[in-house]
Amino acid sequence: MPESADIVIAGGGPVGLALARALEQFGVRATVVSTSTTASDRPIALSHASRILLERLGAWRGLNATPIRTIHVSQRGGFGRTLIDHRDYKLPALGHVIAYSDLLPALGRTLDRKPMNGTVTGSEAHAGQITVSVTSDPYSGQAIQHLRTRLLVIAEGTLPPIDAISAGATPVTQRDYHQSALVASVKTDNPSEGRAWERFTEDGPIALLPYRDRYALVWSVQPDDAHTLAALPEHEFLARLGTAFGRRAGAFIEAGERGVFPLQLRVRDPSPVPQVLTIGNAAQTLHPVAGQGLNLGLRDAWELAELAGSWPREEIGGAEFVEHYLRRRRLDRVGSVRATDLFVRMFSTDDPFARCARGFGLFALDVLPPAREFLARRMMFGARALP
Ligand SMILES: Cc1cc2nc3c(=O)[nH]c(=O)nc-3n(C[C@H](O)[C@H](O)[C@H](O)COP(=O)(O)OP(=O)(O)OC[C@H]3O[C@@H](n4cnc5c(N)ncnc54)[C@H](O)[C@@H]3O)c2cc1C
């Protein structure tokens, strides 16, 4: 069987495609295997660093991106608020909001070698190589092709239809937040002017991200409440949202289609078996409170490609390569996972002491620009402060 590519990537989501493009740029042969699914049009906030990465990959131009210029953070029923402003960091914007469904074709167009349609169902490592089984019909389980490669990268996201390769790699950390994210586009009677809002309530955080002429809402609530809210008639839903969020962004006057996503923290072993790496949501699924999931996944992809480009071709996927990658990514991964988890737990409790501590935290951020800058840069660039 001839070697198909230096690296096979399972999953053609944004992280898998970004990796494929970056590998092309670094001169490494890669094949993406992806199931064809309909991409959701849910909005996603990308940090300034992710914009730089997408520009390097040639996927930024033409994206319909709404800039986030300021972020207002506050808590309901307690003192303290802070405002993060792009001008303090001499950046054109802190980040941008784009549609997931726009990002996939934008990345896909940059690829010289188009993704292969199929589902990766298994793999077997032998003598420094790995054979990957791909089927066009995961339900019959019939493998139609075998690809021989040096490294298999699992970028199959959180809820893959078939989880055969990583089945042995049980999550090392799993936390059910007992929250679901209710997402919708909503309109207020005040223009957003590039302002994002993050409001912490005892039920969970509410984020409003500026998106075109409206806001993208990510409202974290208990799973039953999320489904109830999603089913309410529009005027009742807007009234409930107004009560929970307040009137800082104006009165809520319109809501688009609503969707519900379960929220959990799931962290897997990033190298479950020899010659296999997991990246993006397949490696770590975070609560969306801090909008870090895809940003972190894009950094996984970029750093993996950069390393592969600098490595002797025949040693890609070997133990030393894998170890190097894991060491390089450890601080950013662990830091982002822990910070996001701490945020959710600290800001989703009704405890009066916690509320007071949160208030002081927000107050301190507001009056101490270096602390605010540390947080802002950490959220935008990750632990290694890319670029
Ligand atoms: C409500 C909500 C809001 C969010 N907001 C933000 C935000 O503002 N900012 C942010 O950075 N992140 C956000 N995220 C997280 C972000 O959506 C994810 O981090 C990102 O989509 C992960 O990309 P991925 O490519 O790793 O996985 P996915 O996007 O899940 O893509 C994986 C792809 O692989 C395919 N696949 C699966 N299994 C196989 C297989 N065996 N073989 C071949 N192909 C396979 C799937 O069909 C899919 O196309 C949010 C998440 C949620 C739920």
CATH of the domain at 328: 3.50.50.60
Query: Dihedral angle at the C-alpha atoms of 383, 61, 40, 238, nearest 10 degrees?
Result: 80
Q: Strands 7-10 and 151-154: what pairing? A: parallel
Closest approach atom of ligand 1 to CA 33: 43
If you take atom 33 of ligand 1, which residue's CA is the nearest one?
13
Closest approach atom of ligand 1 to CA 279: 26
Predicted TM-score (pTM) above 0.85? yes
What pLDDT is recorded for position 298? 97
> Within a domain: residue 204?
no
Task: Give me ligand 1 centre to Cα 285, in Å.
Answer: 9
Domain containing residue 273: 7-69+94-172+264-350+369-381
Task: Give me ligand 1 centre to Cα 315, in Å.
Answer: 29
> Within a domain: residue 17?
yes
Listed residue (66, 65, 70) closest to 89, CA to CA:
70
- How many domains are there within the chain? 1
Low-confidence ranges of the chain (pLDDT < 70): 1-3, 77-78, 80, 138-139, 141-143, 159-172, 347-350, 352-355, 358-360, 362-367, 383-387
If you take atom 15 of ligand 1, which residue's CA is the nearest one?
293
What pLDDT is recorded for position 134? 92
pLDDT digit string, tens, across residues 61-73: 989 999 999 999 8
What pLDDT is recorded for position 360? 66
Task: Give me ligand 1 centre to Cα 40, in Å.
Answer: 10
Task: Give me ligand 1 centre to Cα 170, in Å.
Answer: 19
Choose which residue among 133, 156, 266, 279 to substitute to test ligand 1 binding: the one with the highest number of ligand atoms within 8 A of its C-beta.
156
Task: Give me ligand 1 centre to Cα 158, in Å.
Answer: 7
What pLDDT is recorded for position 32? 96
> Within a domain: residue 45?
yes
Task: Give me ligand 1 centre to Cα 361, in Å.
Answer: 31
> Within a domain: residue 278?
yes
Task: Give me ligand 1 centre to Cα 45, in Å.
Answer: 13
> Within a domain: residue 98?
yes
Q: Strands 81-85 and 70-75: what pairing? A: antiparallel
Closest approach atom of ligand 1 to CA 134: 42
Q: HSE of 165 in the Cβ direction (CA atoms, 13 Å)?
A: 33
Task: Give me ligand 1 centre to Cα 252, in Å.
Answer: 29
Task: Give me ligand 1 centre to Cα 181, in Å.
Answer: 15
What pLDDT is recorded for position 291? 82
What pLDDT is recorded for position 381? 73
Choose which residue among 198, 294, 343, 381 to substitute to test ligand 1 binding: the one with the highest number of ligand atoms within 8 A of its C-beta.
294
Task: Give me ligand 1 centre to Cα 194, in Å.
Answer: 25
CA distance 60 to 33: 23
> CA quadruple 154, 160, 163, 168: dihedral positive or negative?
positive
Task: Give me ligand 1 centre to Cα 124, in Å.
Answer: 25
Type of residue at 15: V
What pLDDT is recorded for position 141? 62
pLDDT digit string, tens, across residues 191-205: 899 999 999 888 888
If you take atom 27 of ligand 1, which residue's CA is the nearest one?
157
Type of residue at 158: T
User: Distance of CA 163 to CAs 122, 138, 157, 261, 267, Å?
Assistant: 9, 10, 10, 20, 15
> Within a domain: residue 373?
yes
> Within a domain: residue 280?
yes
Q: Which residues line ligand 1 (CB under 6 A)?
A: 10-16, 33-35, 37, 44-45, 119-120, 155-158, 160-162, 181, 183, 218, 261, 280-282, 288, 291-295, 297
Closest approach atom of ligand 1 to CA 297: 26
Type of residue at 244: A
If you take atom 4 of ligand 1, which residue's CA is the nearest one?
288
Closest approach atom of ligand 1 to CA 163: 41
What pLDDT is recorded for position 348? 66
231-246 b/e with 16+ CB inside 10 Å = b? eeeeeebbebbbebbe
What pLDDT is recorded for position 384? 60
> Within a domain: residue 54?
yes
If you take atom 48 of ligand 1, which residue's CA is the nearest one?
13
